[in-house]
């Protein structure tokens, strides 16, 4: 191993991450024979095969998994060193890797825009996925920071609230309940459009109904907030979503926020990272920036029929919360 090069480790890491020699060659602007040769040299140095081929798929061997963890640690150290030197020079340069749950896409770009303008030397990689996949990435420490709608209690992680995330009841603009004060028991009579089981929004709604001894009438489960909003407009039912989902592509003038007992349900957006992780200079800079998040996210127009103003973004709390493994 002593004679292995950083280039060989870089090639190996790309294959392990992408699961493909071809894609690794494309990412690194190398020919596939060159990639294969670098891996052969590295395997010879280790004395054990690093990959095994099953059909067209590539899998890490036990030795490969051990080396992959080692290689990622090396590259993390180099990235921190580069950013530390940049910080010493009074610069903010490097890469910020973010992974966010699907609903966060409604405000994440508006947070990143001013940040990138303030620090033009920072490149941002943004991964958007469902909560389950984001938690997998957090467990594997694949990114710098993670944005979720509820703390990752199933993992040993630090989670800090930075932005309020109120859940509201949405209905078609011509719904007969618009403009009325609505008891929760009356809302329970309406057919609901829901996200998949396990969704943080769905869990919050189910807890509220259970606390009042009420049952949900689920008419349909849909896989995205966009599909739910279109189904609401189509008159298929009502739903509970983050008010942030009204920020971008909500059907203008076709949705209303109902004035329901117990709503909005107060929630927060959390920024998380593995407990004990040493944040890079860039990640720490973005974490500090998030504490001013309401200044960078514009207020969403309110379609509430009986309330003149709907405050969306009050001052954030900055109390740090550490969650432990259950």
Contacts for 313-320 with beta carbons within 8 Å, 24 or more apart? 313/163, 313/164, 314/164, 316/161, 316/162, 316/163, 316/164, 316/268, 316/291, 317/161, 317/268, 318/160, 318/161, 318/162, 318/291, 319/160, 319/161, 320/158, 320/159, 320/160
pLDDT at position 281 over 90? no
49 confidence band (pLDDT: 50, 70, 90)? very high
231 confidence band (pLDDT: 50, 70, 90)? very high
Every domain of the chain with CATH number 3.40.190.10 lies at 92-165+267-301+312-323, 167-260
Among 149-158, 203-212, 300-309, where is mean pLDDT lowest? Answer: 300-309
2 confidence band (pLDDT: 50, 70, 90)? low
Residue of 316 and 171 predicted with greater confidence: 171
pLDDT at position 304 over 80? no
Identify the pLDDT of residue 306.
Answer: 31
- Count other Cβ atoms within 10 Å, centred on residue 88: 9
pLDDT digits (tens, 9 = 90+) for 89-126: 665 677 899 999 888 888 888 888 888 888 888 889 99
Q: Please compute the mean of the pLDDT values over residues 64-82 and round it to a whole number.
A: 85
Identify the pLDDT of residue 191.
Answer: 95
Report d(CA 51, CA 18) in Å as an integer.
Answer: 13
Topology (CATH) of 6-71: Arc Repressor Mutant, subunit A (1.10.10)
What class, spelled out in words, does domain 92-165+267-301+312-323 have in CATH? alpha beta
Helix/strand/coil for 223: coil
Identify the pLDDT of residue 293.
Answer: 66
pLDDT at position 35 over 50? yes
307 confidence band (pLDDT: 50, 70, 90)? very low
pLDDT digits (tens, 9 = 90+) for 123-135: 899 999 888 889 9
Residue 124 · residue 285 · CB < 8 Å = no
Q: What is the DSSP string of 4-41?
A: --HHHHHHHHHHHHHT-HHHHHHHHT--HHHHHHHHHH
Q: Are strands 181-182 and 255-260 parallel, antiparallel or unpaired?
A: parallel
Report d(CA 165, CA 158) in Å as an integer.
Answer: 19
pLDDT at position 299 over 50? no
321 confidence band (pLDDT: 50, 70, 90)? very low
Mean pLDDT of the chain: 82
* pTM for the model: 0.62
Topology (CATH) of 167-260: D-Maltodextrin-Binding Protein; domain 2 (3.40.190)
Residue 258 · residue 169 · CB < 8 Å = yes
313 confidence band (pLDDT: 50, 70, 90)? very low
Identify the pLDDT of residue 42.
Answer: 93
Question: Which residues have CB under 8 Å from 274's CB, separation 6+?
Answer: 138, 139, 141, 155, 156, 157, 158
pLDDT at position 295 over 60? no
Every domain of the chain with CATH number 1.10.10.10 lies at 6-71
């Amino acid at each position: 191993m002593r004679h292995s090069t950083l280039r060989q480790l870089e090639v190996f890491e790309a294959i392990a991450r992408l699961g493909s020699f071809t894609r690794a060659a494309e990412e690194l602007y190398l020919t596939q024979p060159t990639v294969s040769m670098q891996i052969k040299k590295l395997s010879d140095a280790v004395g054990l095969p690093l990959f095994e081929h099953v059909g067209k798929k590539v899998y890490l061997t036990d030795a490969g998994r051990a080396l992959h963890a080692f290689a990622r640690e090396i590259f993390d150290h180099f990235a921190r060193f580069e950013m530390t030197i940049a910080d010493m020079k009074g610069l903010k340069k490097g890469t910020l890797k973010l992974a966010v749950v699907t609903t966060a896409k409604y405000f994440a770009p508006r947070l990143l825009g001013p940040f990138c303008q303030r620090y033009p030397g920072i490149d941002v990689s943004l991964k958007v996925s469902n909560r389950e996949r984001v938690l997998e990435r957090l467990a594997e420490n694949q990114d710098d920071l993670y944005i979720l709608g509820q703390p990752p209690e199933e993992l040993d992680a630090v989670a800090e609230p930075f932005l309020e995330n109120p859940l509201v009841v949405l209905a078609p603009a011509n719904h007969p309940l618009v403009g009325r004060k609505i008891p929760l028991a009356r809302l329970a009579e309406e057919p609901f459009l829901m996200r998949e089981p396990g969704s943080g929004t769905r869990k919050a709604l189910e807890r509220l109904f259970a606390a009042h001894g009420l049952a949900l009438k689920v008419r349909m489960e849909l896989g995205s907030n966009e599909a739910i909003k279109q189904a609401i407009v189509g008159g298929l039912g009502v739903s509970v979503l983050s008010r942030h989902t009204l920020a971008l592509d909500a059907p203008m003038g076709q949705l209303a926020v109902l004035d329901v007992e117990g709503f909005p349900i107060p929630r927060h957006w959390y920024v998380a990272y593995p407990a004990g992780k040493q944040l890079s200079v860039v990640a720490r800079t973005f974490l500090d920036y998030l504490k001013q998040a309401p200044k960078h996210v514009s207020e969403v127009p309110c379609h509430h029929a009986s309330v003149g103003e709907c405050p969306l973004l009050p001052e954030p709390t900055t109390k740090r919360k550490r969650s432990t493994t259950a």
